[in-house]
Structure 1
């Protein structure tokens, strides 16, 4: 065996604890990203495999309004020529009632033509074929719908103007979007019954879809291209099963985007742990390094040797991380239960493993550069036990810092695939770490000057600045990681307080949509209470300042965007919860031509200012409007609002519907719903008391997933604590022995170490809480537009949990030191 080999084996054997910490940090740095990469590929491959079933056809035509004559004619030509079979699907929400009873329920109605679905199956509880069961006069319901209304198969229910018989129960359908986001249980009806329901009129909120089964699969793209040429680009979409975005895929892509950001954040913090643990490891080896230098070892020999040490530990950590990623695949299905189709197979493919190997190599390389560079500063005098830290040249610090920043930025751009979002995330994380570092430095300076009366407290403060004690990186890492977890918790609590637990007492809870112009007066009388009616005119944005909207680029944005169809309205005054932030008034009396007031949310989608010109297409008619003002909402209550408000004269004569919202106490909701549904079956009624319950369930499940992955960041901080205790073991032992020799009891030593960890935990917790409170305030008031509360009880619990965690980890790592007998320690020192 070579000299390097013998030294490597001996040093790994004598520094098993620090080696273990290093390995765990490496594993932690890659486990989240590799498991998410494998998870993402599993979902994407499963959806690609089942793409036809997820959409029910080869070509999918979609629109939020009735299909244009040109596109309808093109579809009919393809079907008439025998090139494809077609089936129309209409989806909307409506109130259903058991026949002869007063209770009611909002349901998701899906009216389908024979042939649906062409791929996949709709499974029924009876086991019968879906196409044979669904016939005119019949309905197929989800079990949830029957349970909530107390119905059984064979019972009759009222839907609009028709009475239907419940023929069966649906247990699974192939193209069902993420079920937790549906505002009501599903009810299938035959498309032939649609006219008799009386629910669909001009301007009704209906999703229109045609699915086509292509006779010759090789013609799929050609047929889609032909139909796309006849479609209205601003409101009709034509896709193949390969290019269409299912509800499941849209949800998954957006959520995985967020989880990947957390994974990259964890990688960064684990990288800090790698650097800290290697520095502690080399600090333990300093006497050996000094001896080797005294015996003539060169700096190059030492660097090569410890690069080999780091490489071996890095390989072990990478293998452990990839292995843990495989184990994590068994946990992910349970975490995502109910959010993804049951057909998704969770596995890690070879590309994810290769990605893990590359990540492991790059992470270990970048985060070990600085500690390895420090080897040059170790002098032979360290044999005498000098504790001073080696000096590091500023050039090395800047080079390694720059390399880490570039690596971090490249990781973000690679995973996020959106330069703007990636840069914002890097700036946000950089700002968080810099703030954590600045606050830590300020607190540590104050603690250095503190002179408490109690001896134990003085010794605890002195211990924070013990040579090689990683107090600073511990606090910075824990502060940054916990700030993210605290902020998520506080934002969730504020959302819960605003929309769920204490639904605003003056906020409307019943929304009535698709009121026809001729029904407005009669509807108002039937409603029997004051209500403000808002006109809805459907339109799209086609250009800003003459620059056409790139709809494909807009659709790729993760948030709201300008590619969709908007609800436009007209009025000449502000709502109670609106104020103008740019412009002199809602509309300018000194301006000629069409004017429009936009909500500040629109400005976030695309930069625009007062005086800019927006081109709209309303019912096929182009309208150019000059921005007269920019509005914002002044409170977070669930109130009607519009992105675009026009002057009344501009849209008053356009095809339109109306909607209104009122506040009704819970006991009166069912009675009012039934009265409105009986007289105006075409009007859609949304009960937000049910919606917030759905929202609460979704938020709860997503919060669990986010916290699960964020906890890996906290583990990184805990590993640094353990590493710091191990690195300062000798100094801690010496202090404990001196305390005992001077007459102190074991309780005193325990109190000193406990206080030291209490300070670290308290400082980390309070700094994290301060940053989280600020972040949650910004997110709630500026992004989500909800009221903000500090939640002192929850905040205190979070800080207390942090202190308990740090004390438990710190004392757990220090138990062997506390239990060490002074005579044993002195004998070992004498032998040395």
Structure 2
């Protein structure tokens, strides 16, 4: 008695044998396993049987699955690498948190030193190291050069953690001590290079003359000081006092770093500081938040690169679907044999689902191997850019994330072609022509695929640091897929309705675009998303560079002047009129303060959107004015009178107020010089931040800071903008106002441009990964499509078509598809980049024709190149074997 589920007639086996070697192998396998299958009617037994068939059929190798494996490996590797490198950097910051922060806890005060009571509290907590940070000009004594520097004055206890490394074999305290009435200084190599200094040379800072005694090779707490666009100059606190740089209202930050006893937790000291010194107004950080700005940037950049890697994986999913579909098309005879022997659709699906799972495991394993190696490769380059000692390792959680993404994506895109195969009857499978592409998968397969894709999207959103950006990215990708599908249908419709042409090759090309089994959907879908992402990223990068290096530099002032004392404003204006006649000088009062309450609620207890968190983070520049500042327009409320003397009022920037949920009538409390000042929001104003003019988030009524010491912030627009005019201003300033710091806007913009250039490398690499996935998918789609065109090419050659005619027809078809895809990518990418540039960055958007032309050329090269490369094999096919199957 034959096993249930398989035919018992001898003639059925003979018929199956006629279907080819695949049928004979399967029939032999059925004969050898017939007795075992009689006892394997249970579900586990059927699964084991399906696994044996799957493994036996895979003995022929992985032919046809190169695109499947390449797409999966690329996507998994990118996600694993990004998350592994990010984890390595985060672990390095956490491991060296005390050295990076300079202590267990750091207390920062803007524009004032700690009071005696505050110092007593700090001293009672543990060992204390005091330092001061500000910007000032450094001028060599021996020549006329000068440069702005980030000055850090330290005491003898510095550093509490970590080690300062100097080029000379001397302790830091010895390098900074006073010798023969001259204090010492050490500086970064960049400052030596800028000013042409040698060890032993002397420089002037403010009113003090300093001797350069060593190059500062390593500063342990550099990262905790945030972004710096000038090189470091380190001096002692006595030298800072001698320089007379710290005046009432000077823009200086005083830091107090505390080393706690081993048995005292950081949280207890922070809580005690909040309870006992609630009005101090200092910013407190523990070593677990040693470099919050850097950590946020790492997390955000990691999130962005992960999303781009996920996009590459999803694009590769299209290639996975194409590869599975092509593989199943090549297994028509085997599937026919299975079904003729009585195997059900679910059993057939199980066999090939197990094969796909095995192949997915190979692809995921290859991707994980590349991702695991990435930290070891990146560590050397990252240590040169970021002063954190990296200890590369294998990061299981990062690899687990990539594994889950890889399996879910592979299964989600493989289920649809598998679902179509399930319901194809054996008679249809025995036919040598036709395709399964027109069949729709049953709803369980479609639903399962959608659920898996939904899980992938949900994971990307939940794991994101900024979920708003993640949701936008995921939604944009989904919309792009839908639109690409519509674009493909529009191209097919236009080709179908195109007027009849006389050219044979053009007529064939147009027909190939809209006929059943056309390559249109595959080409547009595979290449469109990668090109769109490339256009968007390239256009954003070019717009930012153009704005910073071009129009922004033209509109911006030539100089910013800080630490100009309020009683020096008139004399400074007179001096600038002599040094730069006809130039425009503007100045406003400036203080530093920190927002501590909104509507009476402590900001620590508020949940604010990610895009507005910077307003509440750290100290902000504050000003007061009786008139509406330039480059601002009122959007709500009214401005106060010039002689106003009532309650404290403040004008808030409209966009930031909206993000924080503030409106006219709400209250804002700021801590300035250790005092809490509460003001009512009188109006909101639109601010033109991109002008780089003097602008502030908050502008107070003059009575709010009556009697408070302040400095002035000034800008200078040169009438004659030449290097000679700039040098005249700087030289004159050094003589008359040595304590005033001049910031050349051009230098600041160059520093920003350099930072953007470094980020652009990683962004372009990420875009290249997505584009490479698109290219892989495109090549697989064209290869699969060309296999289906063998029959057409043979028939056309039999009817008299020449090889030249067919090549011209195929080239025209690929050119039209590439052109249509490029037009969509340029339009969609430009639209996405305009939203980012104009809406999010608040910058003017410019369409970049260079990016458009490069995208067009790239699309045509890829489609025509890959298309014709596969066409040679089609045109070289012999006619007789194909015609026998007709």
What's the TM-score, normalizing by structure 1?
0.90
The structure 2 residue matched to 1:445, chosen from 487, 493, 497, is 493
Q: Matched residue of 2:615: which SS?
A: coil
Residue number among 656, 674, 683 corresponding to 2:740 in the alignment:
683
Aligned in 2, Cα 1:75/1:687: closer, same or farther, shift over 3 Å?
Answer: farther
Matched, 1:626 2:674: no
Q: Decide which of 805, 810, 813 is 2:862's aligned counterpart.
A: 805
TM-score, normalised on structure 2? 0.85
> Could you say what the CA RMSD is over the residues aligned between the two structures, in angstroms?
3.2
Alignment of 1:41 with 2:98, yes or no, is no
Deviation at 1:520, TM superposition (A): 1.2
Which structure 2 residues correspond to residues 287-302 of structure 1 after superposition, within 5 A? 287-302=333-348
823, 844, 848: which is aligned to 1:787? 844
8 Å CA contact 1:740–1:822 kept in 2: the answer is: no
Change (3 A) 1:117 1:247: farther
State how 1:339-354 maps to structure 2 within 5 Å: 339-341=385-387, 343-354=389-400
Q: What is the aligned residue count? A: 823
Is the Cα contact below 8 Å between 1:70 and 1:230 reproduced in 2? no
Give, in whole Å, the separation in 2 of the partners of 1:379 and 1:729.
25
How far residue 318 of structure 1 moved from its aligned partner, in angstroms, is: 0.9
Identify the match of residue 470 of structure 2 among 392, 402, 422: 422
Secondary structure of the structure 1 residue equivalent to 2:239: helix
The question of whether the paired residues in 2 share the 8 Å contact of 1:95 and 1:107 is answered with: yes
The structure 2 residue matched to 1:162, chosen from 204, 208, 221, is 208
Matched, 1:262 2:308: yes
The structural deviation recorded for 1:173 is: 1.9
* Aligned mate of 1:471, from 495, 520, 524: 520
Matched-pair contact (CA < 8 Å) for 2:108–2:256: yes
The equivalent residue for 2:430 is: 383
- 1:583 maps to which of 632, 636, 653: 636
CA distance in 1, matches of 2:698, 2:442: 55
Contact 1:8-1:309 at 8 Å conserved across structures: yes
| Deviation of the 1:689 alpha carbon | 0.9
Is the 1:761–1:807 contact (alpha carbons within 8 Å) kept by the matching residues of 2?
A: yes
Which blocks of at least 5 consecutive residues in structure 2 are unaligned?
1-28, 34-48, 578-582
Q: Does 1:725 align with 2:782?
A: yes
- The answer to whether the Cα contact below 8 Å between 1:110 and 1:187 also exists between their aligned partners in 2 is yes
Q: Deviations over 1:664-697 (max 9, x none)?
A: 3232223312322433333222111111111121
What is residue 827 of structure 1 aligned with on the other side?
881
Deviations 1:260-301 (A, max 9, x none): 222233233233332333233323334543443233221111
Partner in structure 1 of residue 406 of structure 2: 360
- Does the 8 Å contact 1:56/1:175 carry over to 2? yes
Query: Could you tell me which residue of structure 2 aligns to residue 20 of structure 1?
Result: 66
Provide, for residues 522-548 of structure 1, a one-character-per-residue CA deviation record: whole Å limited to 9, x for no partner: 111122243221222433334444544
Q: Structure 1 CA distance, aligned partners of 2:771 and 2:349?
A: 31
Which one is further off, 151-160 or 413-422?
413-422
Partner of 2:26: none
Deviates further, 443-452 or 762-771: 443-452
Residue in 2 that maps onto 1:549: 603
Q: Does the alignment pair 1:496 with 2:553? A: no
8 Å CA contact retained: 2:687, 2:695: no
Specify the alignment match of 1:109 in structure 2. Answer: 151
Are 1:753 and 2:810 an aligned pair?
yes
Indicate if the aligned counterparts of 2:505 and 2:808 stay in contact, CA closer than 8 A.
Answer: yes
Aligned in 2, Cα 1:539/1:341: closer, same or farther, shift over 3 Å? closer
Does the CA contact (< 8 Å) of 1:594 and 1:650 recur in 2?
A: yes
> Deviation per CA, 1:65-94, whole angstroms, max 9, x where unpaired?
42443773344532xxxx632211211111
| Distance change >3 Å, CA 686–CA 71, structure 1 → 2 | farther
Question: Would you say the 8 A contact 2:553–2:746 is kept in 1?
Answer: no
The structural deviation recorded for 1:718 is: 1.7
1:98 pairs with one of 120, 140, 163? 140
Q: Match for residue 668 of structure 1?
A: 725
Q: In the aligned structure 2, how far is the partner of 1:432 from the partner of 1:367?
A: 17
For 2:509 and 2:648, locate their aligned partners in 1 and report how far apart those are by CA, in whole Å: 72
- 2:758 is matched with which residue: 696, 701, 706? 701
Shift, 1:326, TM fit? 2.9
Aligned to 1:346, the other structure's residue is in SS state: coil
Distance 1:431 1:630 in 2: 35
Aligned to 1:531: 585
Contact 2:527–2:778 (CA<8 Å) still a contact in 1? no
Tell me if structure 1 keeps the 8 A contact 2:131–2:237: yes
- Cα pair distance change 1:563/1:56, threshold 3 Å: closer
- Are 1:129 and 2:175 matched, yes or no? no
- 8 Å CA contact 2:639–2:683 kept in 1: the answer is yes
> Which secondary structure state, in structure 1, belongs to the residue aligned with residue 539 of structure 2?
helix
Q: What are the Cα deviations for residues 447-478 of structure 1, in whole angstroms up to 9, with x where unaligned?
A: 33224543223323333345555532542343
Match of 1:596, SS state, is: strand
Structure 1 residue 154: Cα displacement: 0.7
Give, in angstroms, the shift of residue 32 of structure 1: 1.4
CA deviation vs aligned residue, 1:86-123 (integer Å, no higher than 9, x gap) = 21121111111110432211111111111222222222
Kept in 2, the 8 Å contact 1:63–1:236? The answer is yes
Shift of 1:575: 4.5
Shift of 1:770: 0.8
**Structure having the higher Rg:** 2
Preserved CA contact (<8 Å) 1:71 1:227 = no
Quote the residue 1:768 is aligned against: 825
**Shift of residue 496 of structure 1?**
1.4
Residues 607-618 of structure 1: pairs in structure 2 closer than 5 A? 607-618=661-672
Q: Contact 1:474–1:717 at 8 Å: present in 2 too? A: no
Indicate the SS of the match to 1:728. helix
Q: Cα–Cα, structure 1 residues 464 and 653, in superposed 2: closer, same or farther, change >3 Å? A: farther
Give the direction of change, closer, same or farther, for the CA distance of 1:586–1:425 in structure 2 (3 Å limit): farther
Distance between the aligned counterparts of 2:813 and 2:846, measured in 1?
32
Q: Which residue of 2 aligns with 1:202?
A: 248
Residues 1:722 and 1:564: Cα distance change in structure 2 (over 3 Å): same
Q: Distance in 2 between matches of 1:713 and 1:34?
A: 15
| Counterparts of 2:613 and 2:56, CA distance in 1 | 55
* Residues in 2 aligned to 1:654 and 1:473: alpha-carbon distance in whole angstroms: 69
User: Secondary structure of the equivalent of 1:608?
Assistant: coil
* CA distance in structure 2 between the aligned counterparts of 1:440 and 1:517, rounded to whole angstroms: 67
Q: Match for 1:568 among 622, 626, 637?
A: 622
Partner residue, 2:45: none
Q: How does 1:176-195 map to 2 (within 5 A)?
A: 176-177=222-223, 181-195=227-241
Which residue number in structure 2 is paired with residue 319 of structure 1? 365
